[in-house]
Amino acid sequence: MRFSFIVIAGIALVGIFLSVLPTPEVSPVPTDNDARLASWPASERYQIVNVTVFDGQQWHEHASLSIEDGRIAEPFERTNTSDIEQIDGQGAYIIPGLIDAHTHSWGNALKQSLEYGVTTTLDMFTDLRFFTPKSAERNALSPRQEADLFSSGVLVTSAGGHGTEYGIEIPTIASADDADAFVAARLAEGSDYIKIVYDASASDAGHKGRFTSIDYATLNAVVKSAHAHNVLAVVHVMDLLSAEHAAKAGADGLVHTFGGTRASDELIAQMTSQNMFVIPTLSILASIAGEGRGRALVSDSAFSGNISADVEYAIVHDIASSRISDDYFAIALGNTRRMHEAGIQIMAGTDAPNQGTAHGISLHDELALLVDSGLSPTDALKAATYLPYSRFAIGERGTLQPGARADFILLERDPREDIRHTQSIRAIVKSGFRVPSIFETEVETGETPESGLVSQFESDLLPQLGNQFVVSTDNIMQGDSTAAITHVEAGCGGSGALRVEGRIGRQFPYPWAGTFLMFGESVSSGYNLSNFKRIVFDVKGTPGQFRLMVMNPQTARPSEVSFNVTSECQSVSIALADIGGVDWRNVAGIGWVAGGSTPEFAFELDNIEFE
């Protein structure tokens, strides 16, 4: 069984986050770590002593780490000088900032990644409107509370191929003759490497898959063109035959391993002879298989009790496909093990934020899965530090040798004893500056309203609770849905209502249109609704299923729950506890929208209240 996935849900929110203010800053929460590191220097030149350091390749016992102007300054011996501030590391373990070698980034992804010690992320397809400004920031050594972003930008795919289904208008490639121009265009846009989507079976007469694919000749031509431009060519594959074709074409690496079929000796031999690498993305394959890894992170990890509502919701809901064999994931682990034993370089990547994964936190579990696949804890650390540095053109990241960027993590416990000790974060340092970890941050709490009454719409659309009702459609993702909102005199209460009417278009695959109640002037601020138990409202309109959407300022996607509408007025009551993934302490807004099941729609809202 073949799977294709880049971003299963939520990419429709890219445009929202590009058009609003940044998410709110977080405030440090006092912790034991603050007391132990209270003397963290404000200067840009200091030394941490009494630590064990992993430089990305080897360990240094009884060592020190010197930082100057955002970079590692000296080897790992202690400097006996009085003109440099020193911090007593008290036996901590220092490792380079982690690198997630397979993500899809937008919204708050980079901030969330850094809170878990992921200081660099290698993106494998995102919107250029997000990537371009972020790539311009990554070389700065000034204080930043985001991971550095490198990306393939737009991927290489065919018309109707995987990657075209998310509402982002992207160019596609038709034949091998277009390869040079296509690759040149991606590099002109700023792509750091070339990612190719390939499915060898798509050309079969009996192919029943959802997507088309480029053919082998085009794959081969794109790889050669990338190499002619001195950039890496990596390939998205989900089955053995496609992997064999990618190796035959000379690809530098595979960005997934695969389950279901054991890797052939021929594939492993060719990958070894060509010095190929693989990013297995075991985290997403575990989600496909329903392994419950996210639930274990929530209930039994160092992060337990510190995971935000949206992250918890994301990681506990596996894909759990019923279309795969019982040994699908075991085979994926076995393929990773055999490749590692053959000397093929293994890199750590999660495919976050696909269902069952989340930025930052899932990389720690990916390391555990790599150890389950036969890597030693030190090899697993290399997979998330030195190996990406050694193969991708990302600058001095993933290493702590002199001259490297001062991106590192102080750990309380030795990850050589248990790779899960990467979760025991004492401090995270980015460009020499300490930044808040997940243990030291909390979401800003919004203003607590005196009343839960939103509006009865007696005379206009101005809400008693919140800033304004606005139109919300998929136009921001090049969709063609439409909506309009008006005040009508009659309503379910007989004294006025908000009327929404519109049409659901076909240009965006996950269409929506409706109204959104903004609690602030933008979605970067909100209300504390944690004292309320439910939202109630009266509604009538086009019979069908509609959606209530809830947005937190710090999240990259809304939470949703469905409700039914009939032609007669009815009261709808939705328990807030039934809307998963919401932190009710700071809600930016609520939306009522139609979807594909109601192409032409109209509905009236009245008597909206939180109880």
Residue 468 has which token pair? 């304004």
pLDDT digit string (tens) for 70-96?
Answer: 999 987 776 666 678 999 999 999 999
Task: Work out the average pLDDT over 52-59.
Answer: 97
Task: Work out the average pLDDT over 189-210.
Answer: 89
Q: Where do you find CATH 3.20.20.140 in the chain?
A: 97-393
- Fold of the domain spanning 97-393: TIM Barrel (3.20.20)
Q: If DSSP codes are grouped into helix, strand and coil, which group holds residue 274?
A: coil
Q: If DSSP codes are grouped into helix, strand and coil, which group holds residue 300?
A: coil
Q: Which CA distances in Å does 350 have to 100, 104, 419?
A: 7, 10, 16
CATH 2.40.10.10 fits 453-610, yes or no: no
pLDDT digit string (tens) for 257-271?
Answer: 999 999 999 999 999
The sign of the dihedral angle between the CA atoms of 572, 573, 578, 584 is positive
Given this model, what pLDDT does residue 79 score?
A: 62
pLDDT digit string (tens) for 113-143?
Answer: 999 999 999 999 999 989 999 999 999 999 9
Q: Which CA distances in Å does 553 have to 18, 165, 336, 550, 585?
A: 13, 26, 38, 10, 11
Angle, nearest 10°, between helix axes 328-341 and 265-273?
40
Given this model, what pLDDT does residue 4 score?
A: 52
Given this model, what pLDDT does residue 78 score?
A: 66
Q: Where do you find CATH 2.60.120.430 in the chain?
A: 453-610
CA pair distance 481, 501, nearest whole angstrom: 11
Pairing verdict, β 497-503 and 513-518: unpaired
pLDDT digit string (tens) for 465-516?
Answer: 999 999 999 887 778 999 999 999 988 878 899 999 999 998 887 899 999 9
pLDDT beyond 50 at 26: no
Amino acid at 440: E
Given this model, what pLDDT does residue 31 score?
A: 44
DSSP result, 427-466: EEEETTEEE--TTSEEPPP-BPPS--EEE--SSSS--SSS
pLDDT beyond 90 at 111: yes
Task: Work out the average pLDDT over 310-334.
Answer: 95
Residue 518 has which token pair? 């903004």
pLDDT beyond 50 at 23: no
Given this model, what pLDDT does residue 494 score?
A: 80
Edge-first strand order for the sheet with 148-151 is: 98-103, 118-123, 148-151
Given this model, what pLDDT does residue 12 score?
A: 38
Residue partners of 190: CB distance under 8 A and separation at least 6: 128, 131, 132, 135, 151, 153
Mean pLDDT of the chain: 91
Evaluate whether 492 touches 538 at the Cβ level (below 8 Å): yes
pLDDT beyond 70 at 448: yes
